[in-house]
Amino acid sequence: MKMSKKSITILVLFIFLSCIFLAISGGYTVIKTVYKLRYESSVKYWAEEYSLDPYLVCSVIWTESKFDKEAESPVGAIGLMQIMPETGEWIADKLDLEDYHTEMLYEEDVNIRFGCWYLRFLLDRFEVTETACAAYNAGQNKVSDWLDLKTYSSDGKTLDVIPYEETAEYVERIRKAYEIYHFFYTI
């Protein structure tokens, strides 16, 4: 059986479009495997409670722990949003929580609540999301020092330069993760 030129063209077009579809759907699956979304109800609840963008919360969690509630950093930060024990105690005090203990930071709901509270605190203090994220990583006092220096900030609010490479990369990872979560998920 001999195929016409038109049939061959249609077949090639069909194969080409099928390959594109498979590449896109496969890529979608890979991206959702790398940028997973867990604890969605807690993220949604605490983001709303503290007037945060849930995609930002997911981005911080992914950057901090890749959604591993058992994560511990070399410096002692704990859980999904990598809360330092001292920061956890400070937040618990601000929230008037009785019977708080550090082990509670391994509980996803507690950790997300504390991380969201702290992120809201930093956003209220620094106003600019990237600056608040830099403070989440490097510490609020360090970021305040950077904002006071024209070398790092031309307006005292935005960091034009982040002098710590780790913090600069951290803020960039959050930005990229935000784009991915915002594009691939509906929260």
Residues taking part in catalysis: 64
The structure tokens 């105690």 sit at 89
d(CA 160, CA 171): 12
| Secondary structure string (H, E, C) spanning the chain | CCCCHHHHHHHHHHHHHHHHHHHHHHHHHHHHHHCCCCCHHHHHHHHHHCCCCHHHHHHHHHHHHCCCCCCECCCCCECCCCECHHHHHHHHHHCCCCCCCHHHHHCHHHHHHHHHHHHHHHHHHHCCHHHHHHHHHHCHHHHHHHHCCCCCCCCCCCCCCCCCHHHHHHHHHHHHHHHHHHHHCCC
d(CA 154, CA 133): 18
Pair of tokens at residue 164: 């710590």
